[in-house]
Amino acid sequence: MFNPYLRYKIKRLREYIAEHTADIDHRGIIRNAVANVELNGSYLAMLLLAGVIALLGLLTNSVAVVIGAMLISPLMGPIISLGLAFTIGDLALARKGMRSIAVSVVLTIVVTTLVAFISPLNEPTSEILARVRPNIYDLFVAMLAGTAGAVALCTRINYLITATGVAVATAVIPPLSVVGFGLGSGRPMLGLGGFLLFFTNFVAIVLTADLVFYLFNFHSAMVAEEKVPARKRLIILGTVLALISVPLVYTLVTDLRKVKVNSRVERILKSHLNHQDLSHLTGFSKVEQGGGISIHASINTVKLYEDPAAKKVENELITALGRPVKLKLEQVLVTAGGVEPKPRPIFPVSDVPVPAQRKETPTIALVESNSSALLKDLRYELEPVVAPFGPDALSLRLTESSGPVGLTISLRRDYPLSAEEHEMLRRLAERELKAPVDLSITLRPFLPPLLMEGESLSSESVKALGAIEKLPGGPASFTYSIGVAGREYKRNAAVLRGYLIERFGIAPGDIKVARASGTAGHGGKIMLKVLRR
């Protein structure tokens, strides 16, 4: 019962279409289709110009130029004509159409390959990369655009405007220029991707044009020459469509999987790294290597994330993705809150104008009158640079003679500054003081002497040890030396050593214990030095 009913509905549809397509000039459209497959000088010139223009637009990453090339290209004519040839079974028209398209494709690829080979621009742009991974959606777009083009050709309703839109939507010439770029720049896989996109658009346009022409009552009776049986035509189109759908569906599934993975990674990173007034995820990238994923995340933070916190994020990513994950955090320290005014120059500008060729040597009185404010501003600039080691004290040294300003900075640090660190601080001071600086650094112990209360550390000592958490790179980036004096030096050293291991996770091998000489000088106090590896 189903088949007769279906045949009835199809018959009624054909009758309805026949009534509304009686005014269509079928013979005229067939004559235009035959004319569109003819190869002549004008056609070839426009084709090659469009191919080269598209290539230049792709190389310069210009969307406007690429669109212009789509509008110039005459390649859509033979493709639509081939669709009509399949509908009416015109073997002669199909052969001419295939020959025209084959010649067009080969010439375009050859010319664009030569241009890409001699071009100094040989790096893939975003416009090129956008045309090397077609998926099933590209097939759907081409099918819809081909339908619109065939309908416009048959009805002549807004044909010029519609044909322009179809040329842009299907974009048959830029993918061929991508093929030329891939071959000319030594990247054949890019060329293969571009050709797959062209072939996708080509098949979709032919298929949908065939269907539209069939619905608009084009049939094999309109052909007087050799005809192709309808069954054979359907088998050819169906087979080609099935073959081309396989890589397109695979690409779509791959892209969807990547989107899903990116979404999971972004959700987990934001849940751990986005905290108001503390840190913010600025971006991330991932690279799949073998069976694992390497993720590089960038954050702005007011406090550095230590290794245990980063490891926690990494473990959650492993659980969510079910694959090995290596997380790398790029942390940029930022300042929370407002910004204080910039420091004033060390030598205030006098109200009395000074001749251009004459330089005045400032007096001690002028400098001393501003030294307090200047040192306060300089301390503000130095604190984030040298944290957590000070600065404890700053002092200026000035003389009546011209020369650099003497500056002494006291730091709480147990190991000397390197030459690079010394030079960095000197340049920072010169930038803030607006004058040459002769810098001297004095060092004081990073931690005060630690005291015991019975068999445990005193509350003041525990509070002082909290500074270890603020060490750059974390406590594990340093080594520790314990100097103990007094009768209970072994017990006291063991208490402090155990506290460092348990509280800060410091490796036992990074802690050295030595008995301090001169027990009377220490009076049973414990001296802990924090040293650079």
pLDDT in tens, 240-266: 666 666 666 666 677 677 778 888 888
| H helix or E strand, kind and range, residue 319 | helix 307-321
Decide whether 257-333 matches 364-444 in CATH topology: yes
Q: Peptide bond preceding 324: is omega within 30 degrees of 0, i.e. cis? A: no
Distance CA 90, CA 229 (A): 10
- Nearest CA among 68, 75, 11 for reference residue 37: 75
Give the alpha-carbon dihedral of 483, 486, 488, 492, to 10 degrees: -30
In the structure, what pLDDT confidence band is assigned to residue 169 with cuts at 50, 70 and 90?
Answer: low
Average pLDDT of the residues of the chain: 77
Report residue 102 as tokens: 């084959």
- Residues composing the chain: 533
**pLDDT surpasses 90 at 533:** no
Is pLDDT above 90 for 146?
A: no
End-to-end CA distance of the chain: 88
Q: Angle between the 63-72 and 41-59 helix axes, to the nearest 10 degrees?
A: 170
pLDDT at 231 over 80: no
Q: How confident is the model at residue 110 (pLDDT cuts 50, 70, 90)?
A: very high
**Which contiguous run of DSSP H or E holds residue 443?**
strand 437-444
Bridge partners (DSSP) of residue 327 are: 295
Question: Phi, psi at residue 35, to the nearest 5°?
Answer: -65, -30
Query: Which of the two residues, 301 and 245, has the higher pLDDT score?
Result: 301
Instruction: List the chain domain ranges.
Output: 2-228, 257-333, 364-444, 452-532
Query: When comparing pLDDT for 57 and 361, which is higher?
Result: 57
Do 233 and 86 meet the contact criterion of CB atoms below 8 Å apart?
yes
pLDDT of 230? 59
Give the C-alpha separation, 291 to 325, whole Å. 9
Q: Residue 118: is its pLDDT beyond 80?
A: yes
Mean pLDDT of 319-338: 77
CATH 2.60.120.890 fits 452-532, yes or no: no
Question: In three state form, how does the secondary structure of 212-228 look?
Answer: HHHHCCCCHHHCCCCEC
Task: Answer whether residue 307 shows pLDDT above 70.
Answer: yes
pLDDT confidence tier of residue 224, bands split at 50, 70 and 90: low
Buried b (16+ CB within 10 A) or exposed e, 182-192: bbbbebeebbe
Residues 184 and 90 sit within 8 Å (Cβ to Cβ): no
Q: What is the Cα–Cα distance from 316 to 264, expressed in whole angstroms?
A: 10
CA geometry: angle 477, 478, 481, nearest 5 deg = 160
pLDDT over 80 at 71, yes or no: yes
On the question of pLDDT at 125 being above 60, the answer is yes
Confidence grade of residue 356 (pLDDT, cut at 50, 70, 90) = very low
| Cα→Cα distances 80→22, 207, 274, 395, Å | 21, 10, 54, 85
Q: The pTM is what?
A: 0.51
Model confidence pLDDT, tens digit, residues 449-491: 888 887 788 888 888 888 888 888 788 888 888 888 777 778 8
Contacts with 238 (C-beta within 8 Å, 6 or more apart), sequence order? none
Identify the DSSP state of 363. P
Which pLDDT score, from 0 to 100, does residue 103 have?
93
Strands 292-301 vs 405-412: parallel, antiparallel or unpaired: unpaired
The CATH number corresponding to 257-333 among 1.10.645.10, 3.30.70.1350, 3.40.50.300, 3.30.950.10 equals 3.30.70.1350
Q: Does residue 405 have a pLDDT over 50?
A: yes
Q: Which range is least confidently modeled, 36-40, 97-101, 334-338, 352-356?
A: 352-356
**pLDDT digit string, tens, across residues 498-511:** 888 888 888 888 88
Is CATH 3.60.15.10 correct for 364-444? no
CATH topology of domain 2-228: Glycerol uptake facilitator protein (1.20.1080)
Question: Residue 399 CA to chain centroid, in angstroms?
Answer: 55
For the residues 317-321, what does the mean pLDDT come to?
Answer: 83
